[in-house]
Amino acid sequence: MRTLNQFADMTSGVVYVHASPVALCPHVEWALSSTLNSRASLLWSAQEAEPGRMRATVDWAGPVGTGARLTNALREWPGLVFEVTENPSDGVDGERFCQVPGLGLWHGATGANGDVIVGEMQLRALMDAQPDSAGLAGELDAILGTAWDEALENYRMGSFGAQVTWLTQRVG
């Protein structure tokens, strides 16, 4: 019988540094490398959505909870725009963290398909606390991270010269 210890389970995820000042790039790499206990080699490219800033992406693998530790390491720099995802693993939901200046940090649990999970008790508490549908809609937007998604969308689009992965389908 398997012992249930979530920190024994391995998972993976992605760190998206959407916008970093050039001078901060080496510090971001050091913070990620220190947290992962291995070299995080990021390939930086210009962030067209915010000229003068850089973007990079790195895949990671580690114990469950690594996404939160990576987020904690990156949130020391309030001007950094980033997302950290942690994929679900056996018996543990995934997570997504988003940091946007002016909005702060958002965190949500995610399911296997990447949707944000909102629990029954969260929904019941919102319905009890909000006397009208407009208030409830605003609270649901906050739980789902709508403002963060809207703020990050321009950064997610990529830029000229950014790395691209083409999906191919092999037939036959």
Smallest Cα–Cα separation from 119: which of 67, 152, 15, 127? 127
pLDDT in tens, 131-155: 788 888 888 889 999 999 999 988 8
Q: Flag whether 100 is in a domain.
A: yes
pTM of structure: 0.81
Q: Flag whether 70 is in a domain.
A: yes
Q: Flag whether 167 is in a domain.
A: no
pLDDT at 5: 53
Q: Flag whether 71 is in a domain.
A: yes
Parent domain of 108 = 12-159
Smallest Cα–Cα separation from 74: which of 89, 58, 88? 58
- Structure tokens given for 48: 């067209």
* Domains of the chain: total: 1
Q: Flag whether 114 is in a domain.
A: yes
